[in-house]
Structure 1
Amino acid sequence: NLFNKPDLFQAPDYYNLDDLLSEEHKLVRDSARAWVKREVSPIIEEYAQKAEFPKQIVKGLGEIGGFGPYIPVEYGGAGLDQISYGLIMQEIERGDSGVRSTSSVQSSLVIMKYLPKLATGEFI
């Protein structure tokens, strides 16, 4: 398939921003980055050409904290901070703006009403 290509993105840190991040932040970012490279980048062009959303990635978005990562654990979230949320969104955006929009809208506008099931990706 012409569109199903590997993600060759490399992440040079020209401004030494990694020095400002905690080890937890780096782990969160690197986990999201690896997931995007594995699950989004190889398929997203094909889905864009078909004007379809790749529904099979929803569960993975929930697993990487793409739905309300700052929501406390007792409500089904990951209990992460806002920096982690930003890092996750940045990595998802690198893969596809529409996927990031889906993730951030659910995290910010929708999740307060349906919090527990949305935070795990069980509802979308």
Structure 2
Amino acid sequence: MKFKGTSALAAAMLTGSGSAYADQPTPAVVAVHYVVNEQLAEHLEKSVLDPLERTCIALPRVSRVTSTASDGYVDLEVQFEGGASEQDRETVSRRVEELAAEVVATSRTVRLASPRL
């Protein structure tokens, strides 16, 4: 489709692409979500976040680990250089399972996601 006398931004908006820039998806991260019985953030940091962060930051290609804990929930994002892959998700999942005896949780989920934290 040709747009005569129209800026690239306007052309992109008219065609529905929403961006005048090359489509570059946000690199995926591996998101880890825990539901735990512990409610105090201080205890969650020591018993859940610290072990998870230590094990994840040591993985190859990890560029950043961010986390948050509150009211019985723990969320951790593991960012990899170039974005996370399914293989990275599996690696993090294995590490989470290895920590299962150390980190007691009601449920845990490991998935690929867009960065939120």
The TM-score, its normalising length taken from structure 2, stands at 0.30
| Greater share of strand | 2
The TM-score, its normalising length taken from structure 1, stands at 0.29
Structure scoring higher RCO (CA < 8 A, sep ≥ 6) equals 2
| Greater share of helix | 1
